[in-house]
Structure 1
Amino acid sequence: MAGMAQVRPYRGIEAAERLDERRRRLVEAGLDLLGGDSAETDLTVRAVCSRAGLTARYFYESFTDKDEFVVAVFDAAVADVAATTQAAVAASPPAGQGRAGIANLVRIVSTDSRMGRVLFDVRMSNPVILRKRSDLGGIFAFLLAQHLASALRRDQTGRSNAAVHFVVGGVGQTISAWLAGEVDLSQEQLVDQLAAILGALDDPGLYFD
């Protein structure tokens, strides 16, 4: 329409692509700051923009405030883990899918320590991260409970719900302790141990009399 301003490409890159690229740089900077060796205890817009090499106006182009930004950083980390884990599970035979999922998760947090700290480090004090972790734990517990009900062909019980919450919390705590050097296992040994624990969930005696 004649009355609407046209946004021209800059150096051949469309405006939407430039916006996406700036947002990606900001989120990557946030992952560096929140998950770095000397993690920011008081994350600031200035620190994020300095790390990303952008001005504050570009921060507010994508995010209304710091809380929304931290949510985006956390969700990006989860999305990456979820996509690669789903692919690893889908590529494995049914008997090995649990191990494949755990192996991929451990590989990611071992390869990129920032991801491990943001997703699992119990020393993280950012309230938005803590809330997002709590929400995510509830989702994982729900999905695992559904998986068990389907695999065992039995309705969920109070015992099965207790077990899945125990496992979800336990896996997160174990990975956190491993990343902190408090669990003396190799990466392969950790995967074996967690896979064995998850494999034991297939025992109907855990949930039914």
Structure 2
Amino acid sequence: MAGRSTPAEGRYGGKDAAQRQAERRARFLEAGLELFGGELGYRGTRLAALCKEAGLSSRQFYEEFHSLEDLLAELHLMVNDVAQQAVNEILPEVRDLPLAERIPRLLHAYVKGAAADRRHARIAYVEIIGVSPRMDLQRLERRAGWIDFLRTMGDDAVQRGELPPGDHRIAAAAFIGAVNGLMHDWVIGWVDASLEEIADELLQFLLGRYRITS
């Protein structure tokens, strides 16, 4: 999202204005990831602290973002994209495997993509909640995307004769709710488990729901 002013044109230090702007934006995103996804969290982070972490000025921040919420919004989309990419990368490898083999590999890929960097998990499952109606809508839109992904996977399994016909959107919504709840509690320390244990617990949820045996 564009900020309030336009950076100066021309070259400086061998880099043009677009390159310098991209680098500044990346530094603000990394600073936001570190602070929003760390002990301070989004609500505890002030602009001065963010700029200090990025090594840039508030004026430069407002060249890129209108507010800290704008930065949070971009980070939330970014960490969701990382998780989605982790799943997308493994899809070609598992597409032709039996369902009992596809599900574990896809689920472990998702959990690793979503939470291998704990800062990503904190932003996706904790910091985004209740910030504003805009952020709630963005969170729900991304959640709906994951539900549609799972529904499509279920429908494909029906076509292959691996699952009985049914409304797989209901099961997908229930599962995504379980993922969000468990990951939230893991991030804030209410659940003491490794990522492997988290993925295995979620796997049991799916296997039990569809009575799938390996």
TM over 0.5: yes
Change (3 A) 1:75 1:110: closer
Tell me what 2:81 maps to.
79
For 2:16, the equivalent position in structure 1 comes to 14
Task: Describe how 1:13-92 pairs up with structure 2 within 5 A.
Answer: 13-41=15-43, 43-92=45-94
| Distance in 2 between residues matched to 1:69 and 1:167, nearest whole Å | 29
Amino acid at match of 1:167: F
Map residues 54-203 of structure 1 onto 2, 5 A cutoff: 54-92=56-94, 94-95=97-98, 96-121=101-126, 124-127=129-132, 129-153=135-159, 159-200=167-208, 202=210
| Structure 1 alignment gaps of length 5 or more | 1-5, 205-209
Change (3 A) 1:155 1:109: closer
TM superposition shift of 1:118: 0.7
Q: CA RMSD in A?
A: 3.0
What's the CA shift for 1:98? 2.7
Superposition deviation, residue 43 in structure 1: 4.2
Could you tell me how far 1:42 is from its partner in structure 2?
5.1
Structure 1 residues 178, 15: closer, same or farther in 2, change over 3 A?
A: same
- Structure 1 residue runs of 4+, over 4 Å off? 122-125, 154-157, 200-204
Letter in 1 for 2:28: L
Q: Which segments of 5 or more consecutive residues in structure 2 lack a partner in the other structure?
A: 1-7
Structure 1 position 59, deviation (Å): 1.4
The percentage of aligned residue pairs carrying the same residue is 23
Relative to the length of structure 2, the TM-score reads 0.76
CA distance in 2, matches of 1:147, 1:21: 38
Q: Distance in 1 between matches of 2:113 and 2:143?
A: 18
Deviates more, 1:85-94 or 1:23-32: 85-94
How many Å separate the matches in 2 of 1:12 and 1:155?
62
